[in-house]
Amino acid sequence: MTDQTLLFSPVGVGTLTLPNRVVMAPMTRLRAPGSIPSDFVADYYAQRAGAGLIVSESIMISDTSAAYMNAPGLFADAHIDPWRRVTDAVHERGGRIFAQLWHSGRVGHTSLQPEGQAPLAPSAIAAEGTIHTATGRQPLSVPRALSLAEIAGVTRAFGKPPARARAAGFDGIELHGAYGYLIDQFLQDRSNRRTDEYGGSLDNRLRFLLGLVTACQQEYGRDVGVKLSPANRSHGMGDSDPVGTFSFVASKLDELDLAYLHFMEPFPEDIAAGCKIGNVMPMARRWCRGPIIANGGFDAKRAMAAIAVGQADLISFGRGFIANPDLVDRLRAGIPCADADPETIYWVPEAPLERGYTDYPAHR
């Protein structure tokens, strides 16, 4: 098998056999008014069902995860049927789709929280940056540190959406442990200053994520993946020893018979912000034996090379799938990719939901 054909060869992930190694990465698109996926969401994912695996956009596990307006949820039974329309549409096109479960933690604003409460976090340390609210962009609010009882409550909250995901027809679950959201906040010592059993040592900082994996595997068994971003500095994230921290995290997760670990490479802005990890993939393979999905700025050539040398088993593409619903066919045939309109990546108020979403054509 040549390097060029490896990307389009079958691979086992959890209990599934995927027809190719091109993964549609989770991408926030904000087409779910009131947390309910619009009808266009089914069309959007179905158009991209040629991917070996689709990982959905971040799905809120509770209303306290409301970092972004019009983000979808799976924390109520009312969310099941709208997501069932999505999974049915993907399956009818021969695709497979995992639900990415997510809690934003300190990345939020009081105006988006129930009763205007402070966002939740491991420690009362504000994230860096601003967020869009009904009154415009605002600085991220100072969070409230979770009590031990509340951590148990959030863990239980993560344990409920998998049953709804199963009822909605998802093929598996991905836990969003990246990009500076709640799971990541527990893992890294710049955001986790706790002195109890959820802070301090690596074992303690990993405890929250392990509890969530256990909760999800009770419903989905081996069909659970985890996404990590060892190099990402979004929202003011950082760790005093990122290589040591994430090598420990990945090696421990590797013992749990997960479907995969999904690793993000650093962005240029992460390097500029002082990130100490320049290339995740060579380290990722040393950290774990199971399937690895690589993410971050890959084109077809880099993707094929990473798989050929064994640094990754699958490659996830984000922005490439926005303007190219037939991305797999384009990559296989060497057809140039279209560029996405940056103005419509997220929903534009007063604009039709389908604009910049389902209106990109396939190659003719």
Residue 55 CA to residue 225 CA, distance in Å, equals 10
Residue 317 CA to residue 297 CA, distance in Å, equals 8
Q: Is 220 a catalytic residue?
A: no
Residue 232 CA to residue 267 CA, distance in Å, equals 7
Select which of 44, 179, 181, 198 is catalytic: 181
Closest CA to 225 of 23, 62, 71: 23
Q: Residue 240, Cα to own-chain centre: how many angstroms?
A: 24
Q: Please list, in sequence order, all residues whose beta carbon lies within 8 angstroms of the beta carbon of residue 190, skipping any fewer than 6 positions away.
A: 125, 236, 237, 238, 239, 240
The single-letter DSSP state of residue 349 is: T
Reduced to 3 states (helix: H, G, I; strand: E, B; else coil), residue 67 is coil
Q: What is the DSSP string of 299-333?
A: -HHHHHHHHHTTS-SEEEESHHHHH-TTHHHHHHH
Helices (H), the chain: 3-6, 39-47, 80-92, 148-159, 161-168, 182-187, 202-220, 242-253, 268-272, 280-287, 300-308, 319-323, 327-333
Residue 250 CA to residue 286 CA, distance in Å, equals 9
Q: Residue 13, Cα to own-chain centre: how many angstroms?
A: 17
CA angle 351, 355, 361 (to 5 degrees): 170
Residue 145 CA to residue 118 CA, distance in Å, equals 9
CA angle 183, 49, 72 (to 5 degrees): 40
Phi (first) and psi of residue 226, to 5 degrees: -135, 135
The single-letter DSSP state of residue 109 is: -
**Looking at the annotation, which residues are catalytic?**
181
